[in-house]
Amino acid sequence: MSRLAAALALAAGLVAAGAGRADPPSEISVKGSFLERCGGCHGIGGKSASVLVPDLRDQVGYFLCTPEGRRYVARLPNVAFSAVGDQRLADIVNYAVFDVGGASTPKGAKPYTAAEVGRLRKDPLTVVDLTAQRRRIVEDVIARCPAAAGLRVYGSSPASAGPVEGLKP
Ligand code: HEC
């Protein structure tokens, strides 16, 4: 089996595992889940410590300016494969977008539902074309919401040109 095929098989297994997994007990807050599942990379409060990981604070909400941007958020591998059930993942994504995203989230944007996240995570983006897809999505978002221009910073320096390359040990 090629490495790519092996990676895809692993990813499919993770999706299946994630989909069947029970949500954590309700005493674990959504913020706690965000810190546990996302905070290691994105930082407490959505300010990441590395150029290899985009900031979420005050800018992630811009992705909801376009339907594709909205889908992008839930199709990201690190989101789609997160080992929580659909409801908790929707709660985490909503926390990321509506709390961490602050004023960047368009007025009137609807929260993600468990059904929506469940559908999107079954169609995750592949790392192979993620960088190019993000660039295109970001340009569409900026065309609709010019205030989102800061989204261009991630991926513009050679160090962060490719998340896959960049994250290799
Ligand atoms: C292993 C590190 C890692 C983890 C864990 C992680 N992310 Fe990410 N995240 C990234 C990287 C790197 C990117 C840039 C796109 C890519 O390569 O996936 C990103 C991109 C994003 C974006 C799009 C931001 C942009 O400007 O493109 C969102 C939204 C996001 N992550 C949310 C989350 C949420 C919510 C979680 C937890 C469920 C999470 N991430 C977990 C590393 C991580």
pLDDT at 43: 95
Q: Which CATH architecture has domain 3-166?
A: Orthogonal Bundle (1.10)
**What does the pLDDT look like over 45-92, one tens digit per residue?**
999 988 889 999 999 999 999 999 999 999 999 999 999 999 999 999
Q: Which carries the bigger pLDDT value, residue 84 or residue 25?
A: 84
pLDDT at 160: 47
Q: How many CB atoms lie within 10 A of CB 83?
A: 11
* Average pLDDT over the chain, rounded to an integer: 85
Q: What angle do CA 127, 130, 133 make, to 5 degrees?
A: 155
| Ligand 1: lining residues by beta carbon, under 6 Å | 37-38, 40-42, 52-54, 56, 60, 73, 76-79, 82, 92-93, 96, 130, 134, 151, 154, 163
Dihedrals φ, ψ of 111, to 5°?
Answer: -60, 155
Distance CA 19, CA 77 (A): 14
pLDDT at 166: 45
DSSP state of 14: H
**What does the pLDDT look like over 121-168, one tens digit per residue?**
999 998 777 888 899 999 999 999 999 999 999 977 655 444 444 444
Q: Which carries the bigger pLDDT value, residue 112 or residue 52?
A: 112
pLDDT at 25: 63
The token pair that represents 12 in the structure block: 């499919």
Find the 48 Cα to ligand 1 centroid distance in Å.
10
Distance CA 28, CA 2 (A): 39
